[in-house]
Structure 1
């Protein structure tokens, strides 16, 4: 398989998961309608989630396209060693991309400047399939940086990008309350049950279940939590806005206030790179 074929396959898989997401959305809306819980606020929340794709895709089409072009040039001109694109190596690339996603995701929860972007994904008090596309405008920039080591060890940028697409596409179906626990699959795969925990802001659920496709990373690195009672979704703060602009940039005003208040270089570092809520 040539790299271009793999990335085309990954894109097709992404489209399949998108259609699965659409089917889940239809069922979620129908269920809420029959239960009488389909309120105006629900629609506004879904629209706010979908609206995050506007700045996200705009930056994908400009800045991220330019960065990936540079990565292709770097791979061809600087990295003189290239791993084969046979199925075993592609499988390994997807596993490595999934492990990379685990750490990328975990770090984004613990470094405030990265959290300003990832918090957008967590800021909805509702939890439905539309939450899957709720992204911070610059969230893909950290993902890009985190996966550069894969290119340095010899994976083609197409294989790396295709692997990232697969890891992200898989997570689409996780954002729903329609699907309960899935028996033995819960031991290996990330499931809707595991991901509901990740979106919970209850103390027992905070900063748990970072996995993309596999949940084994959380079990290995001590961040696993089984779903017990239904999570309370959203942030630990009282953010509850459906204004698209406020959703896109919800964490930035607070960060800017803390930067202006910083009285030393050490405090500025802590405000930027310490965990959310860090204080001197």
Structure 2
């Protein structure tokens, strides 16, 4: 089984779905007279985050594969690559993503990267590719347990990419609620809640593919009205540099004011304040 080819094919399918939704979004906004310079600028800003992200991610993904391979060589057991094990790795990667994602909201140093994804006041397909340049570092660490379970490196990468690729289509206001699917899957409705900065929507719906993790661990919130998107604090810019490094100035200021190493660690590891997270 050529897992690399399968990974590429699945990624391409979700990419094409995302492109189709984006074209429909643009056409709808143009028809309604809502496609303004601000909207276009916001899309360009979201797309700009791919420049540093892809540059760094190439090295991170290569390093992750190498690290998982080294671990695999030292394991006394291994999980064979079959259709069933690939299905299992997607489920486990999705479970891992839930906690990776949740912790990224709850640990300030990790939030410096993930806040980039939440900093847009718009919700469209391009928002889905708005990433902090170092987000992949935490993802690499979070998926290490899968290597120790015995999954092959290519299987782990497959699971990670499928979970991320799935989320391409859920960054949209174009699609409403999807009936019974809302009970099991992460849908555009559920993910709009996740990007909302209204108090009742904060830190909800962390799931990647499945929403059952949120229902299980008490972080589920149904969409009751259209959220206000973006960060809780006053942050609304289309300057790419400010978006890439939105959380760093305040974090550096707090670290410089710290009176001890213990305070520094507390600042880095504690939850972000509501003034700086969504």
The TM-score range, normalised by the shorter chain, is over 0.9
The equivalences for 1:157-196 within 5 A come to 157-196=153-192
CA deviations 1:71-102 (Å, max 9, x no partner) are 323322x2232111122222111110000000
Residue-pair matches, total: 275
Q: Hey, what does 1:145 align to over in structure 2?
A: 141
Contact 2:71 2:147 in 1 (8 A): no
Contact 2:232 2:274 in 1 (8 A): no
Q: 1:102 aligned to 2:93?
A: no
What is the alpha-carbon distance in structure 2 between the residues aligned to residue 63 and residue 219 of structure 1? 32
Q: 1:69 aligned to 2:66?
A: yes
Q: Runs of 5+ in structure 2 lacking a partner?
A: none
What is the alpha-carbon distance in structure 2 between the residues aligned to residue 20 and residue 85 of structure 1? 27
TM-score w.r.t. structure 1 length?
Answer: 0.95
What is the alpha-carbon distance in structure 1 between the residues aligned to residue 60 and residue 201 of structure 2? 34
What is the root-mean-square deviation of aligned Cα atoms in Å?
Answer: 1.3
What is the alpha-carbon distance in structure 2 between the residues aligned to residue 278 and residue 44 of structure 1? 27
TM-score w.r.t. structure 2 length?
Answer: 0.96
Q: Runs of 5+ in structure 1 lacking a partner?
A: none
Contact 1:112 1:275 in 2 (8 A): yes
> Are the structure 2 counterparts of residues 223 and 278 from structure 1 closer, same or farther at C-alpha, using a change threshold of 3 Å?
closer
What is the alpha-carbon distance in structure 2 between the residues aligned to residue 200 and residue 31 of structure 1? 22
What is the alpha-carbon distance in structure 1 between the residues aligned to residue 3 and residue 178 of structure 2? 29
CA deviations 1:243-273 (Å, max 9, x no partner) are 1111111111111111001112332122100
The equivalences for 1:1-280 within 5 A come to 1=1, 5-76=2-73, 78-277=74-273
SS at match of 2:143: helix
Q: Which moved more, 1:256-265 or 1:182-191?
A: 256-265
